[in-house]
Amino acid sequence: MTETWIVLGASSSMARAFTRKLAERGDGVILAGRTPADLERDAADARVRGAALAETVAFDARDPASFGPILDRLEGLEGTVSAAVFVGSMPPQAEIDADPSLIAGVVTDSFTGPAQFLHRLAPLMESRGSGTVVGITSVAGDRGRIGNYAYGAAKAGFGTYLSGLRNRLTRAGGHVVTVKPGFTDTAMTWGIEGMFLVAPPETVAADILKAVEKKRNVIYTPLFWTAIMGIIRAIPEPIFKKMSI
């Protein structure tokens, strides 16, 4: 059975690495985002790597009007339709502190925009009894930290949404994988002080594809973040609120 993936936020480093892996196994890809030139280049690369289909489409999490044409295209495809969501934004917390109105954009990009799109896609997946959703959240969503708690809150919300969507789609033969990356070498983390154990996007993409194939529910990537976040979640609140991590 053919499988076509809609990749939201396809021009991010992590999404590009995942798209390459999908193409190499012969899946179709529809690359969605706000940078047409970048998307066209990546689609051409996907064709060379063996993608059964490689197209581009405009997507903006802050513009629900951009969702309709994508959903119409997916309706017209045969076989399994899957989705990978790499959308998100993370302004420095200091900028948010200076201008709290920025929180609205962070929440839309990282949670409510993608959730609205997936909610409109879900009936199609249910009707076909197949398909996978990969949702990228973050280790930042596990606990509010002073350095990025607005972004962390948005990703925590998206993670809870994905958990509910997993319950829904599982009943119809679909699946949802929640991915919690640690620090990854992407544009979102470039220039941020205090980065450690930064993973290349290719490592994260390989972990995601493995999780898809094994129908995992929630993964941390790279794997060592499972232990790191287990420790961080276990720190008592009276101690944690005095820490600068």
**At residue 103, does pLDDT exceed 60?**
yes
Q: How far is CA 55 from the centre of its chain?
A: 19
Q: What's 198's DSSP letter?
A: P
Distance CA 91, CA 103 (A): 9
pLDDT for res 1: 65
What is the pLDDT averaged over residues 86-95? 94
Token pair 């993964």 is found at 219
In this structure, of 75-79, 85-89, 100-104, 197-201, the range with the lowest mean pLDDT score is 197-201
- Residues 35-59: what's their mean pLDDT? 97
CB 80 within 8 A of CB 4: yes
Residues in contact with 69: Cβ distance below 8 Å, sequence separation at least 6, in sequence order: 57, 58
Global model pTM greater than 0.85: yes
First to last CA, the chain: 46
Task: Spell out the domain ranges in the chain.
Answer: 3-240
pLDDT, position 183:
75
pLDDT of amino acid 163: 98
Query: pLDDT tens digit string along 184-223?
Result: 655 444 444 544 555 789 999 999 999 999 999 999 999 8
Beta bridge partners of 56: 31
Which residues in 97-125 are b (16+ Cβ under 10 Å) and which e? eeeeebeebbbbbbbbbbbebbeebbeeb
Q: What is each CA distance from 233 to 81, 153, 160, 172, in whole angstroms?
A: 35, 15, 17, 33
Task: Return the structure tokens found at 140.
Answer: 């930042």
**Would you identify the CATH topology of the domain 3-240?**
Rossmann fold (3.40.50)
So what's the pLDDT on residue 245?
A: 75
Can you give the pLDDT at residue 14?
A: 93
Averaged pLDDT of the chain: 93
Q: Is the pLDDT of residue 182 over 90?
A: no
